[in-house]
Amino acid sequence: MKKRLVPILVALALVLLVVLVACDNQNTPTDTSDTSSSTDTTDTSAVIDANKISIISADGSTEYQLVRAEEAEGEIVTAISEFYRTLGAKYGIPSLGFKYTTDWLKPGETPPDKEILVGKTNREETQQVLEGLQEFDYAIVMVGTKLVICGGSDEATLQAISYFIENIMTDNSLEIPENFSYICSSPPRVVSYSPENTYYYENVYTPTLVINYVCSPAIDMTMSKLVINGKDYTSTAVWADNRVTLSGTTFEAGDYEVILTLYDTNGNSYKHTQYFSCGDGSVMNLYKGEVHAHTKESDGQGTVEEAYAYARDIAKLDFFAITDHSNSINLNTYKNTHKPIADKFNDPGKYVTLYGYEQTYNISTGYYGHLNVLNTLTFTTRSSVNLPAFYRLMAKDPDAIVMFNHPGYTWGNFLDFKYDKDVDKVLNLIEIKGSGYDTQYALALTQGWHVSPVYNEDNHSPNWGNASEACGYVLAPALTRANIIEAFEKNRTYTTTDGTLKIYYKINNEWMGARLDNPDKLEVSVNISTERPTGIGTIYLMTEDNIIVAQTSAGTKKTYDWNLTVSPDFDYYYIKVVNSSYWAVTAPIWIENRDLINITDMTQSLLVNNSGNDDYGVKVTVKNSSSKTMTDVTVSFYKSSLNGFNINSTPFATVKLGNLSAGSSSSAEAFTSYSLTSNRITAIVTGKIDGKTYGDTSYTLLSQLYMTEVLPAMSQYNGVSTPFCYIELYNNSDTVLDLSSYKLRYYSKAGANATDLANNTWNLSGTIQPHSTVVIWFRTSTKLTVADFNAKFGTNLVEGDNILVLNNVPILPTDINKSVQLELVSGSTVVNRICYNWGDSIKSGIKTDKAITFDYNHMYVQTSVTTSSEATPTPGSISAGQVPTAVIK
């Protein structure tokens, strides 16, 4: 109890300082925006030493009960509850000797005569006292036998409680004169203002300043003034509806102090001070923080308040957000706990707090992945909306900031980052937690998303912000909530596992995250520093598809400036920093309106009976999207791992297409051998118009083995359940494959670890003939034979040749309430992946006696494309498009 009581009493005491000064001493209080204020007040009190009413005796006995409004919520409920405990502790009231309740009454029930009414209760006595109180006035009054403690607002009631504790609860017993009345009337007061204190206007020199105030009975315009940097703007501003608005005034670049002095017609005054700046953004600051963490409100530890305090005081973060799982909280908790606490801790210029939640899709809701939502009260859960519906909601909310969380096939990667242009404007961030996420970041950018990387600890323990030194940095001109949000919107972020690594990255004098409009050249500027003894390491300039454009070694140096000029051949460029101990990657800078030549498709083929090893063909379709003829069109083919390659490496094939007329398409094809570890084939096309070079890039992933059809659910056959469930495999090679080199596994849940996967893995055996199929039958009863299987489907499969029987093993997942992800693995490399009952098709993607068919994916991923979830089963045969075309040489 002491741990809970002290913070509240401290907060109340702080409020009390304002109250006592405002109502008793007529000196200078402070306002919540770090401003100075001078105040004269009207203090109306009448305490007549007449007969006293005993509320609580010296022995702790009392006939009174404490009552609050049933509809009260949030901080006022907490404060009244602590007031109740304070009364009990002060006067030694036995735990069962003092009732605490709400103002709810049964129909016909009469309230007791002896009540302490706190806040805006429904009792007549409270309503009588509230009549005539302004928003920030408060009163402590005996009305008959009832003690009323209330204010014109919850904030004023908190002040009343503070005054009561400090000034009335002073003796060993609580006795109040029967005609006691204390009323504190407030001076003018600023209640809100825009922009927030210390906000920086970037490239805005004619800002709009709005200051809202309360004043009773009326403002005195002969005395009130608005002054900015010593200049009087009183007559320039608009004073109306308890608001001061200054607009249309142009300021030079610089810092500004705003002083608003308010007088009311009773002579009371109030002084408000705030600051803002204007500038071109050429000077930026780096701020460290994280925006993905949990508390006991969901599946973490500690309270929301403890988390915000810890991140500020112990971890020393500049900005921070708690984002509990939305399926574990509700809108009421989010609105009345998370947001108010974040707002309370927000301290412009010192510590920025954001609020949000995590949208946590799992295996039963589509396995899309997890996303964080910040800065909005639009609230969703994984069961209320699927991913497309979630995107639609967020796209309509201009305040929302959305982030892809820990993307990958373990938790979900948003249908391989399927692009949605409408939500792209608010889906600004991607959580990249080290080099293990490198290919996922590259894939998100490749698919078209304008996202920038941040590091988050995703804390579930009470170590918010210092579980490791890794962190995210934001580049912003000032440490305010609005400036941090704007930095997110402008993609000015980077992620690093070296918490001391500072990166300032520009192209053509524009900061990371910028969009450049059809530049002729790119002047790249990178300034990097670290405090680590290992130094900076190697700095890479990256482009589309994880391709290295340039690199330089800073070695063990702790500071390094890198300047270079490159041609704008690709759609975006970003910085990656790698050494033996640390890793970092920045937001891209995007190049726009140069997309004049495009790779519109990539297809694969397989040479049959080829005498050499170059059996795998890749054909690229290229389109001239401009209005002019493009010359010197060339396609270069590169072979690498999924991690990408250096553009200065030698292509394994180059095809010159010559001229390409406006709007027309052409194709280029190259052949190579298969390598398990170098199965990525990248095509880079370039062409020229009026002497300028334009380019595009795309890649495809080769595989020797595909899953082409699956039958997960069947009707009974001769009394056997799920009798003939199978997976069909295709050998996409010109040689016999030994299936013992492969395993088939599935994810039984989102976040499946190595043990989970091992427990859900089938070891394969036997062989599969070149450019042929084999059916893996999950036999559930030895009563069934291959002859039964053939009779069921009208096939002529031969055991050990083109049908392999698995006995006494788990069958394929068939639960329509769960998504299924199956992977074919050779060693540690995934060679093919299929998903069914997945994403939007959850609960409808598995149909009894219907097969699910797949085509190989032409570009970027090994996840095959579902073509039908209700196909007629055809075990042992494939259709065109399911696998690369076999070409007889």
Query: Which amino acid makes up residue 711?
Result: L
* The pLDDT value given to residue 297: 95
Using alpha carbons, list the distances in angstroms from residue 757 to 86, 745, 753, 808, 823: 55, 7, 6, 18, 10
Distance CA 764, CA 825 (A): 10
Distance between first and last Cα of the chain: 83
pLDDT value, residue 248: 98
Mean pLDDT computed over 31-45: 40
In this prediction, residue 609 carries a pLDDT of: 82
Segment 670-685 shows an average pLDDT of: 97
pLDDT tops 70 at residue 44: no
The pLDDT value recorded for residue 48 is 43
Contact (Cβ atoms closer than 8 angstroms) between residue 487 and residue 476: yes
Two structure tokens written together for 290:
């994280």
Q: What is the pLDDT of residue 20?
A: 34
Residue 18: pLDDT above 60?
no
**Structure confidence by residue, pLDDT tens digits, 747-800:** 999 999 999 999 999 999 999 999 999 999 999 999 999 999 999 999 999 999
Q: CA-to-CA distance for 228 and 248, rounded, in angstroms?
A: 14
* Residue 734 pLDDT > 50: yes
pLDDT above 60 (res 19): no
Give the DSSP H or E segment for 307.
helix 304-313
pLDDT tens digit sequence for 275-332:
999 999 999 999 999 999 999 999 999 999 999 999 999 999 999 999 999 999 999 9
Q: What confidence tens digit (pLDDT) does each residue in 830-852 have? A: 999 999 999 999 999 999 999 99
Higher pLDDT, 15 or 560: 560
Averaged over 172-176, what is the pLDDT? 96
SS3 16: helix
3-state SS, one letter per residue, for 834-878: EEECCHHHCCCCCCCCCEEEEECCCCCCCECEEEEEEECCCCCCC
- Is 17 a residue whose pLDDT tops 60? no
Average pLDDT estimate for 485-499: 99
d(CA 35, CA 162): 22
pLDDT value at position 136? 84
pLDDT of amino acid 268: 84
Domains in the chain, CATH or no CATH each: 2-185 (3.30.379.10), 189-279 (2.60.40.1220), 281-497 (3.20.20.140), 501-593 (2.60.40.1930), 597-701 (2.60.40.10), 705-888 (no CATH)
Res. 10: pLDDT tops 60: no
Strands 597-608 and 616-624: antiparallel
Report d(CA 4, CA 9) in Å as an integer.
9
Residue type, 699: Y
Query: pLDDT tens, 70-117?
Result: 999 988 999 999 999 999 999 999 878 899 999 999 999 999 999 999
CB 672 within 8 A of CB 621: no
Per-residue confidence (pLDDT) for residue 36, from 0 to 100:
36
405 beta partners: 370
Average pLDDT over the chain, rounded to an integer: 93
pLDDT higher than 50, residue 41? no
Q: What are the tokens at 715? A: 């009707």
More confident residue, 302 or 32: 302
Q: Which residues on neighbouring strands pair with residue 528, listed in sequence order? A: 503, 560
pLDDT value for 21: 34
Phi, psi of 267 (to 5 degrees): 95, 0
Render pLDDT for 451-460 as a digit per residue (tens, 0 to 9): 999 999 999 9
Window from 373-382, 682-691, 738-747, 803-812 with minimum mean pLDDT: 803-812
% of the chain exceeding 70 in pLDDT: 94
Residues 154/179, Cβ–Cβ less than 8 Å: no
Q: Calculate the alpha carbon distances from 233 to 204, 213, 238, 270 in Å.
A: 19, 17, 10, 17
Tens of pLDDT along 623-652?
A: 999 999 999 999 999 999 999 999 999 999
pLDDT in the model for residue 95: 76
Which of 25-39, 135-149, 355-369 has the least mean pLDDT? 25-39
For residue 187, what pLDDT band results from cuts at 50, 70 and 90?
A: confident
pLDDT digits (tens, 9 = 90+) for 218-239: 899 999 999 999 999 999 999 9
Residue 16 has pLDDT above 50, yes or no: no
Residue 50: pLDDT band (50, 70, 90) is: low
For the chain, percent of residues with pLDDT exceeding 90: 89
Count other Cβ atoms within 10 Å, centred on residue 610.
15
Map residue 357 onto helix, strand or coil: strand
